[in-house]
């Protein structure tokens, strides 16, 4: 006997079904056009867009560990450094190699992708190595161990000739384009969102809310924590690889505790557990120093202040964390996403569990 077809629930959207299929394309086209226009306009805009994209990847990936799983890692820049150096060295060595059956530009991009993946996998392996011992312990140990890991990476790089010691690596081919970066941003966000909605994500949320209870309910807490750590460090490695291929030089100074803190501030500001919150905070905090700089320059009177923006930024980040924790510990969005906090008049899907 044939089972009767289940009734298809009426979609509750104001958008007509015919339009819904091409909606993403309709959204993407103007964005791409804008992109094209901006990137043609000035090299600085390209740079800023690239930095923003890398920061978004870092923030969204850190959010998987710090937000969804409730562990507190403050050594994300270490994984970024692993990805940057491994893929950078690989690209440097493969500079002269070209795949004969492809045009040069395409072959470059293929090799670049390969280098990125290798960098990401190396970072993921490091994440596994660091995560395995420390994730069996309580959260505060993880914070210290990740911080220490970042320092170890820095010391290792400074003592390895292949990584250029303290001088860093220069001459890495500039393969990164904003398109490539935002493709990876898309992938990162996709993975993060899919994890949040999956049963895997449910387990992560359970660990975040109450580890003991989660364990009692049969969640393999260590396994899930290590896995989320590995995924997170993979994307941090990718971000590092992308970063290494658009800045003229990478040195240990680019991946210090300061960088880690910057990412932590993004995640905490956006709301621990909110992917779109991390994105919004990453965009905001990337543009803020630039905005301040030009504002001070426009004012003209305190030109020294404009030069000091980068310096002043750091203590402000620290104070921002304290003030946030005291007044709004859930950050901007809490665990909600952007569309949950948008005003009511914008049509949207009914929320299921996620």
Partner 1 sequence: MAQLLQHLINGLASGTIYALVALGYTMVYGVLKLINFAHGDVMMVGVYMGYATAFALGREVRGSLLGVALIFAVAMLGCALLGFLIERFAYRPLREKPRLTALITAIGISFALSYGFQLDIGFLPGASPRAFPEVIEPKEWIIIGDRDVVVWNWQIISFLIAVGLMVALQYLVFRTRFGRAMRAVSWDHRVAALMGIPTDRVIALTFMLSSALAAGAGLLYAIKDTSVSPLMGLYVGLKAFVAAVIGGIGHVPGAVVGALVLGLVEEFVVGYAASTWRDAVAFGFLILVLLVKPGGLFGRVAAEKV
Type and span of the H or E element at 233: helix 221-244
The neighbouring-strand residues paired with 249 are: 170
Residue with tokens 């390895």: 160
User: Least distance from C-beta 29 to partner 1, angstroms?
Assistant: 41
Site for partner 1 in 149-188 (CB under 8 A): 149, 151-152, 154-156, 158-159
User: Least distance from C-beta 123 to partner 1, angstroms?
Assistant: 17
Asked if residues 204 and 194 have their Cβ atoms less than 8 Å apart, the reply is no
Residue 130 interacts with partner 1 (CB under 8 A): yes or no: yes
Asked if residues 215 and 52 have their Cβ atoms less than 8 Å apart, the reply is no
Asked if residues 66 and 72 have their Cβ atoms less than 8 Å apart, the reply is yes
Contact string 334-353 vs partner 1 (x = CB under 8 A): --------------------
Classify residue 13 as exposed, middle or buried by CB count within 10 Å of its CB (0-12, 13-18, 19+): middle
φ/ψ of 250, rounded to 5, equals: -115, 135
Residue 312 interacts with partner 1 (CB under 8 A): yes or no: yes
Stretch that binds partner 1, among 107-115, 128-136, 174-182, 186-194 (CB under 8 A): 128-136
Contact string 16-35 vs partner 1 (x = CB under 8 A): --------------------
Stretch that binds partner 1, among 97-105, 113-121, 126-134, 225-233 (CB under 8 A): 126-134
Contact string 201-230 vs partner 1 (x = CB under 8 A): -----------xx-----------------
Question: Which DSSP state fits 170?
Answer: E
Which residues, 6+ apart, have CB-to-CB distance to 139 below 8 Å? 70, 71, 72
Length of the chain: 354
Q: Which of 171, 223, 253, 318 binds partner 1 (CB under 8 A)?
A: 318
Nearer to partner 1, 112 or 317 (CB): 317
Residue with tokens 């104070």: 319
φ/ψ of 48, rounded to 5, equals: -65, -45
Q: Which residues of the chain form contacts with partner 1 (CB under 8 A)? A: 70, 72, 74, 130, 133-134, 136-137, 139-141, 143-145, 147-149, 151-152, 154-156, 158-159, 212-213, 257-258, 261, 264, 268, 272, 308, 311-312, 314-315, 317-322, 324-326, 329
């Amino acid at each position: 006997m044939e089972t009767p077809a289940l009734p298809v629930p009426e979609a509750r959207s104001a958008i007509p079904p015919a339009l819904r299929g091409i909606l993403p394309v309709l959204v993407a086209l103007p964005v791409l056009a804008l992109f094209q226009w901006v990137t043609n306009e000035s090299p600085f805009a390209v740079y800023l867009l690239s930095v923003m994209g890398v920061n978004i990847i870092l923030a969204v990936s850190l959010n998987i560990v710090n937000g969804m799983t409730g562990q507190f890692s403050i050594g994300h820049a270490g994984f970024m450094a692993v990805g940057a150096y491994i893929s950078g060295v690989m690209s440097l060595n493969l500079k002269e190699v070209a795949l004969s059956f492809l045009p040069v530009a395409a072959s470059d991009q293929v090799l670049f992708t390969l280098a990125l993946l290798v960098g990401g996998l190396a970072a993921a392996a490091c994440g596994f190595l660091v995560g395995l011992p420390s994730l069996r312990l309580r959260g505060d140990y993880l914070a210290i161990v990740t911080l220490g890991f970042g320092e170890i990476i820095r010391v290792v790089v400074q003592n390895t000739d292949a990584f250029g010691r303290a001088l860093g690596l220069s001459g890495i081919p500039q393969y990164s384009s904003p398109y490539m970066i935002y493709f990876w941003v898309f992938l990162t966000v996709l993975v993060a969102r899919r994890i949040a909605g999956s049963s895997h994500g449910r387990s992560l949320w359970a660990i975040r809310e109450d580890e003991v209870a989660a364990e009692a309910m049969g969640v393999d807490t260590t396994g899930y924590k290590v896995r989320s750590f590995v995924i997170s460090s993979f994307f941090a490695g990718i971000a590092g690889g992308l970063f290494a291929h658009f800045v003229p030089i990478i040195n240990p100074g680019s991946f210090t505790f300061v960088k880690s803190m910057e990412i932590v501030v993004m995640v905490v500001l956006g709301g621990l557990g909110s992917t779109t919150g991390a994105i919004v905070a990453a965009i905001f905090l990337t543009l803020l120093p630039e905005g301040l700089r030009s504002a001070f320059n426009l004012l003209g009177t305190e030109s020294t202040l404009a030069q000091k923006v980068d310096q002043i930024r750091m203590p402000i980040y620290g104070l921002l964390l304290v003030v946030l924790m005291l007044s709004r510990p859930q950050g901007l969005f809490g665990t909600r996403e952007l569309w949950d906090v948008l005003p009511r008049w914008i049509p949207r899907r009914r929320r299921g569990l996620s």
